[in-house]
Amino acid sequence: MAFFFHYLKSYKLGFTVMTIAIIASTYFQVKAPVYMGKAITALADYVIGLTRGVSDKGNFVSSLWMLFLFFIFSIIAMFFSNIIVTFITGNSTNRMRKGLFGKLQKMTIRFFDSHKDGDILSRFTSDLDNISNALNQALGQIMSNIALMIGIIIMMFQQNVQLAWVTIASTPIAVILAVILIAKTRKYVDIQQKEVGKLNGYINEKISGQKIVITNGLQKDAIDGFLPYNENVRKATFKGQVYSGMLFPVMNGLSLVNTAIVIFFGSWLALNGDMGRTTALGLVVVFVQYSQQFYQPISQISSLYSMFQLAITGAGRLNEMFDEPNEVNSKDKQKLTGLTDGVKLKNVDFGYSPDKEILHDVSINVDKGEMVALVGPTGSGKTTIMNLLNRFYDVTGGSVEFDGVNVKDLELQSLRDHVGIVLQESVLFSGTIRDNIVFGKPDASDEEMISAAKQANIHDFIMSQDKGYDTKVSDENSVFSTGQKQLISIARTILTNPTLLILDEATSNVDTVTEAKIQKAMDTVIQGRTSFVIAHRLKTILDADKIVVLKDGKVIEQGNHQELLDQKGFYSELYNNQFVFE
Ligand SMILES: Nc1ncnc2c1ncn2[C@@H]1O[C@H](COP(=O)(O)OP(=O)(O)OP(=O)(O)O)[C@@H](O)[C@H]1O
């Protein structure tokens, strides 16, 4: 509720106008049957008058006109309130989406590492859609239905107290039936959502692994696995639909029975009561209208319930994201302006979760301009060390220092400005090749951009494209191979001229020509720069000023190639067996 209030509170004027429009529309709607009754009484009087030779149809015509006008006014007022609801809903969901995306940009790497892309995306799509639908439907409908119910009750008691009691006598039965049906529907809608989630999970997994399915000829098995999920969805949907489908017929049936009782009792009043018969006839017509209108709000409000439930779940999931911690605010901290001495990891301990330590007492010294190669078996903690260098995560023990200053005492933005990263998996954003190269330095001149592309060995390839640097890059139309993508991201990093470079060498198989280009580009970008490289190629390791050998989160050996060979330890054993580092 606090979530909805936060976004809706700024539309006070809109709500006021909407309330006035709803009250007006309700007034016209509940008053119209009175004129219908008057018209019937006037018609009956006119017919009786004809037999007696007196005929005045003035009352009948004027009542019909009023009836017509009241319906028209009611429609106009309803139209206004709907437009305002649409305006408020559109604007508030727009603000929610903006807030959510803004929040996303402030989130920590930990959040992205621990949530699936699909899960984050669904908050922007299905959760926001559920909220928007519920707001759209509920804001106007709940208010106008409640207003309608109150209006009808007031009008009925004004018209005739006895008939009013008869009409509302069955309300408790209707409410009890509605509550039972909704509870049943909800149970099966919940099951249905869970089953749909499982089905989507299965489809998702199979789509991403489709190549493996095809390679192993497992298409039939994939379908066999799919069928039970699909069947469970069908069963749950069917049961939910049965109960929710019963709501309207049951309400309609009750409304009809109620109308019959009203007609029966109304006719009895007309025949035995002390009012004129034509007036009583008019009254019966009025109450037939009311008894039908009276059931509308009950069934409409109850049918909105499941929509509300989805919106509340959606709001909960959005709130979960808003409650996530932001990246630290470090505006008042020291700015990193460059590097004079070097970078140090001092007795670093770290775990992604408190109960499992990954790095144990890791110490590495890198002097300015040195290149360090991190080597070690898979899972030994190489990427984790990279994650600590530019403070994606905070160490739990020890410290990471730039020129002796703890990264926790540095302004985060200045730290990130000085650290350049080339990941194994290079990402290209939609836009032109130019946009992608100048991504980290949007104000770069064309000369700077071209020089970076030349150093990264990708200039000639770009120029071979029809539109050169203005060639569009998109998912469907990606002209780049994996290796070329890596060259582009190297160009992107060269352009930002980072003080400290973090580089994850690609292990993916690229052709030998591209491989040589990547190697050359890496040599260029590493030259004279302080750098950490997760090394997979022997040449990089041989060229390194320092090799750090990691195993199970511990530094087990450290030194240059020759020193490590002389130690005759883990490294020399692996090297002699030509085992991991090719
Ligand atoms: N985001 C994370 N959350 C929790 N645990 C993680 C996370 N990332 C890595 N780990 C765990 O930390 C340990 C070290 O992983 P890391 O990615 O640093 O190894 P690595 O040496 O880079 O491996 P590889 O050569 O396979 O890339 C592994 O046990 C891994 O399961």
- pLDDT, tens digit, 9 for 90 and up, residues 167-211: 888 888 888 888 888 888 878 877 887 788 788 888 888 887 888
Residue 337 corresponds to which amino acid?
A: T
342-576, CATH topology level: Rossmann fold (3.40.50)
Q: What is the pLDDT of residue 582?
A: 43
What the block records as the tokens of 64 is: 């019909």
User: In this model, does residue 580 exceed pLDDT 60?
Assistant: no
CA-to-CA distance for 380 and 555, rounded, in angstroms? 9
Mean pLDDT of the region 294-310: 78
User: In this model, does residue 482 exceed pLDDT 80?
Assistant: no
Yes or no: say if 458 and 424 are a contact pair by the CB < 8 Å rule.
no
User: In this model, does residue 218 exceed pLDDT 60?
Assistant: yes
User: What φ, ψ does residue 557 adopt, rounded to 5°?
Assistant: -145, 150
Residue 13 corresponds to which amino acid?
A: L
Among 53-67, 504-518, 526-540, name the one with the lowest average pLDDT: 504-518
Nearest to 518 by CA among 543, 492, 495, 490: 490
Q: What is the pLDDT of residue 579?
A: 52
Parse the chain into domains and list their residue ranges: 2-322, 342-576
Residue 512 corresponds to which amino acid?
A: T
CA-to-CA distance for 108 and 514, rounded, in angstroms? 34
| Per-residue DSSP letter, 353 | B
Could you give the 3-state DSSP secondary structure of residue 550?
strand
CA-to-CA distance for 356 and 348, rounded, in angstroms? 14
Yes or no: say if 342 and 366 are a contact pair by the CB < 8 Å rule.
yes
Q: Does residue 355 line the site of ligand 1, with CB under 6 A?
A: no
- Residue 382 Cα to ligand 1 midpoint, Å, equals 8
User: In this model, does residue 33 exceed pLDDT 50?
Assistant: yes
- Residue 116 Cα to ligand 1 midpoint, Å, equals 16
Mean pLDDT of the region 422-451: 86
Measured by CA distance, the residue closest to atom 3 of ligand 1 is 352
Residue 518 corresponds to which amino acid?
A: I
| CB count in 10 Å sphere of residue 154 | 12
- Residue 417 Cα to ligand 1 midpoint, Å, equals 25
- Residue 380 Cα to ligand 1 midpoint, Å, equals 7
pLDDT tens per residue, range 309-330: 778 878 888 888 899 888 887 7
- Rama region for 369: left / alpha / beta (φ>0; ψ in -120 to 50; rest): left
Yes or no: say if 382 and 376 are a contact pair by the CB < 8 Å rule.
yes
* HSE, side-chain direction, 13 A CA sphere, residue 68: 6
User: In this model, does residue 392 exceed pLDDT 70?
Assistant: yes
Ligand 1: which of 380, 503, 532, 549 to mutate, most ligand atoms within 8 Å of CB? Answer: 380
Among 70-79, 301-310, 465-474, 500-509, top mean pLDDT goes to 70-79
CA-to-CA distance for 102 and 343, rounded, in angstroms? 32
| Per-residue DSSP letter, 123 | I
Q: Does residue 536 line the site of ligand 1, with CB under 6 A?
A: no
Give the CA dihedral 385, 387, 393, 396, nearest 10 degrees.
0
**Strands across the sheet containing 359-367:** 359-367, 342-350, 397-402, 405-406
| Per-residue DSSP letter, 470 | G
Burial class (CB in 10 A: 0-12, 13-18, 19+), 576: exposed
- Residue 345 Cα to ligand 1 midpoint, Å, equals 18
Pick the CATH number of 2-322 from 1.10.490.10, 1.10.3720.10, 1.20.1560.10, 1.20.1740.10: 1.20.1560.10
Q: Does residue 381 line the site of ligand 1, with CB under 6 A?
A: yes
CA 16 to chain centre: 31
Atom of ligand 1 nearest to the CA of 353: 4
Burial class (CB in 10 A: 0-12, 13-18, 19+), 249: exposed
Q: Which residues pair with residue 346 across a beta bridge?
A: 399
CA-to-CA distance for 389 and 11, rounded, in angstroms? 46
- Average pLDDT of the chain is 86
- First-to-last C-alpha distance (Å) of the chain: 59
Q: Does residue 384 line the site of ligand 1, with CB under 6 A?
A: yes
CA-to-CA distance for 437 and 493, rounded, in angstroms? 8
Residue 33 corresponds to which amino acid?
A: P
User: In this model, does residue 530 exceed pLDDT 90?
Assistant: yes
Interstrand relation of 371-375 and 530-534 (parallel, antiparallel or unpaired): parallel
Going by pLDDT thresholds of 50, 70 and 90, the confidence category of residue 73 is very high
- Residue 381 Cα to ligand 1 midpoint, Å, equals 6
